[in-house]
Amino acid sequence: MITSSSNAKVKQVVQWQNKARERREAGIFLAEGRKLFREAPEDRIREVYLSERLWEPGCLEPDLREKLKRTGYETVSEEVFRKMSDTGTPQGILCVVKRPEYRLERLLDGEAPLLVVLESIQDPGNLGTVLRTGEGAGVAGVILGGDTVDVFSPKVIRATMGSIFRVPFVLSENLVETLALLRQRNIRIYAAHLSGEAYYDSFSFREGTAFLIGNEGNGLSPEVAGAADSLLKIPMKGRVESLNAAVAAALLMYEAMRQRR
């Protein structure tokens, strides 16, 4: 059992929790908790850490015990695990996972792909929720603007509730150029915008479709909004001017899903 927070492996995990550059250079991310460990593909798990109390009788479900036997694990003291954890109430299991790699072409495969394009989303909960909702709505993938919050940050990973393992996503350093590529593939681009020309439920999303969602405070930049084929808006009552970015994305994705059923 690892009982010292000065242990090299413990110090490395703490660095990975706190520094995006360290995670990127190592090509990994951290998945903490029972659900994320259960859903992590075994061939991508590199290390597993288990708090000492979890191996006591009745503390772990049988399927998790069997998976731990297959992946291997290291036991750490409760104090050390709290040091390694990114949560206020640690669940006692944490794994190091190899990052997935996707290419834009994969997102564009298939007939009439449905995509979500995010510009400058800064809230980890919003990004994680978009990925999770995107899985539920059947999107082909998510395109992330280069200044969007790190998709591999621990808070984003938790918010995806496991969808990080299944929803393809790519990083775009130049969204305007990426949108031009989508248009070449006959994908129509819709921007959620306060200046929208019509409500979102008046459009058809049965063909190849990409939804643009902008920053929580500032919305889409003029350059990215200008690259859209159409601006759409969401009906608002009362004194509300706009919705949370993840909520807006969910409405659009599920409208497209409804039309395609």
129 and 237 co-located in one domain = yes
Instruction: Single out the residue in 80, 98, 116 at which a domain terminates.
Output: 98
Instruction: Single out the residue in 55, 76, 98 at which a domain terminates.
Output: 98
Task: Tell me the pLDDT tens digit for each residue of 30-40.
Answer: 999 999 999 99
Instruction: Single out the residue in 64, 98, 132 at which a domain terminates.
Output: 98
Is residue 165 domain-resident? yes
Q: pLDDT value at position 55? A: 81
Is residue 253 domain-resident? yes
Asked whether residue 67 carries a pLDDT value surpassing 90, the answer given is: yes
188 and 80 co-located in one domain = no
Asked whether residue 21 carries a pLDDT value surpassing 90, the answer given is: yes
124 and 205 co-located in one domain = yes
CATH number at residue 21: 3.30.1330.30
Is residue 220 domain-resident? yes
Q: Which domain holds residue 18?
A: 8-98
28 and 142 co-located in one domain = no
Q: pLDDT value at position 146? A: 85
Q: pLDDT value at position 197? A: 86
Is residue 212 domain-resident? yes
Q: pLDDT value at position 183? A: 96
- For residues 13 and 33, give the distance between their C-alpha atoms in angstroms, rounded to a whole number: 15
Structure token pair of residue 10:
């413990």
* Band of pLDDT at residue 84, cut at 50, 70 and 90: very high
Give the count of domains, the chain.
2
Is residue 1 domain-resident? no
Q: pLDDT value at position 56? A: 83
90 and 142 co-located in one domain = no
114 and 46 co-located in one domain = no
What's the order of all strands across the beta sheet hosting 188-192? 169-172, 141-145, 114-118, 209-213, 188-192, 230-233, 198-199
**Amino acid code (one letter) for 53:** R
139 and 14 co-located in one domain = no
Is residue 3 domain-resident? no
Is residue 93 domain-resident? yes
90 and 189 co-located in one domain = no
- For residues 40 and 165, give the distance between their C-alpha atoms in angstroms, rounded to a whole number: 7
- For residues 218 and 96, give the distance between their C-alpha atoms in angstroms, rounded to a whole number: 35
What's the order of all strands across the beta sheet hosting 74-76? 28-32, 93-98, 45-51, 74-76
Query: What is the pTM for the complete model shown?
Result: 0.95
118 and 237 co-located in one domain = yes
Q: pLDDT value at position 60? A: 92
Task: Tell me the pLDDT tens digit for each residue of 131-182.
Answer: 999 999 999 999 999 899 999 999 999 999 999 999 999 999 999 999 999 9
Q: pLDDT value at position 121? A: 97
Asked whether residue 102 carries a pLDDT value surpassing 90, the answer given is: yes
Task: Tell me the pLDDT tens digit for each residue of 38-61.
Answer: 999 999 999 999 999 998 888 999
Average pLDDT in the 71-85 region?
A: 97
Is residue 94 domain-resident? yes
Q: pLDDT value at position 132? A: 98
150 and 171 co-located in one domain = yes
CATH number at residue 214: 3.40.1280.10
144 and 251 co-located in one domain = yes
Asked whether residue 72 carries a pLDDT value surpassing 90, the answer given is: yes
Average pLDDT in the 79-105 region?
A: 96
Task: Tell me the pLDDT tens digit for each residue of 196-254.
Answer: 989 999 999 999 999 999 999 999 999 999 999 999 999 999 998 888 999 999 999 99
Task: Tell me the pLDDT tens digit for each residue of 147-159.
Answer: 999 999 999 999 9
Q: pLDDT value at position 170? A: 98
127 and 205 co-located in one domain = yes
Q: pLDDT value at position 240? A: 87
